[in-house]
């Protein structure tokens, strides 16, 4: 059975990012996969501590993060997964701090310091990144294209197969706009967009989950590198 892990980099477990990830996993389940959703903000961990144990010749942690904390078992499960989906809101133009720290710990051990930038993840798997943000698609393209593109490139480099990106723009950030200082956009327009557009975003996430499972099942078998 195909295994799919989704990682939520939002501090909220029941809002936009988490909801999209849940729909992606529902799509994966509909394609016959076994799924898991990890909430990073429920774990106690830090980013890479630059110990280089993962790159020490002959070391027992070569190719693996040596830090033992709440993230360690998650990293072990990801090592065996067939599909990986990351999700994060955009804060100041990039992913959340927890997501960034997670990405350091996840990917650095597999990157080899050689001239070819080789990677030693044990197999090729499809990946995806789901983003939610307050800004419009136009502003996203003008201001956020570099970090989003860089994330897609590094996912493809480390995990070796295709990496998709899904955007959800102009999200509904609050349940009650009257309780916060907010004049960036018309609250009623945001509510209307959430009613009409967000369900379409959820459907796109569902379809993403289906495609990723199909890509995993049609790609290299577990343990193989193309």
pLDDT one-digit tens code per residue, 142-183: 888 888 899 999 999 999 878 999 999 889 887 778 788 877
Strands (E), 41-159: 83-89, 125-132
What is the per-residue pLDDT for 224?
Answer: 43
CATH of 3-218, one of 3.90.650.10, 3.40.50.360, 1.10.1200.10, 3.40.50.300: 3.40.50.360
Q: What's residue 220's pLDDT? A: 61
Element (H, E) at 192: helix 187-196
pLDDT of residue 110: 95
d(CA 83, CA 160): 12
- Retrieve residue 84's tokens: 């990986």
Burial of 213 (0-12, 13-18, 19+ CB in 10 A): buried
pLDDT along the chain (226 residues), means of 10: 96 94 97 96 96 90 95 96 96 93 96 90 95 89 88 93 90 80 82 91 96 87 43
pLDDT tens profile 194-206: 899 999 999 999 9
pLDDT at 203: 97
Cα Rg of the chain, angstroms: 18
Sheet of strand 160-168: strand arrangement: 34-39, 3-8, 83-89, 125-132, 160-168
pLDDT at position 180 is 80
Residue boundaries of the structural domains of the chain: 3-218
């Amino acid at each position: 059975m195909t295994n799919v892990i989704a990682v939520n980099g939002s501090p909220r477990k029941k809002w936009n990012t988490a909801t999209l990830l849940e729909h992606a996993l529902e799509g994966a389940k509909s394609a016959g996969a076994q799924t898991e959703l990890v909430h990073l903000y429920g774990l106690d961990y830090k980013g890479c501590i630059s110990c280089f144990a993962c790159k020490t010749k002959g070391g027992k942690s070569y190719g693996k993060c040596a830090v033992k904390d709440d993230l360690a078992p998650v990293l072990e499960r990801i090592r065996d997964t067939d599909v990986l989906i990351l999700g994060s809101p955009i804060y100041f133009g990039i992913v959340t701090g927890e997501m960034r720290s997670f990405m350091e710990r996840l990917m650095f051990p597999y990157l080899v310091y050689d001239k070819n930038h080789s990677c030693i993840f044990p197999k090729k798997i499809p990946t995806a990144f789901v983003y939610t943000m307050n800004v419009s698609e136009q502003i996203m393209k003008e201001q956020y294209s570099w970090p989003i593109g860089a994330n897609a490139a590094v996912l493809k480099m480390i995990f070796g197969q295709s990496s998709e990106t899904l955007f959800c723009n102009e999200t509904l950030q609050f349940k009650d706009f009257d309780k916060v200082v907010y004049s960036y956009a018309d609250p009623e327009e945001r509510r209307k967009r959430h009613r009409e557009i967000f369900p379409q975003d959820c459907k796109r996430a569902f379809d993403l989950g289906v495609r990723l499972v199909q890509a995993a099942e049609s790609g290299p078998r577990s343990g193989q590198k193309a």
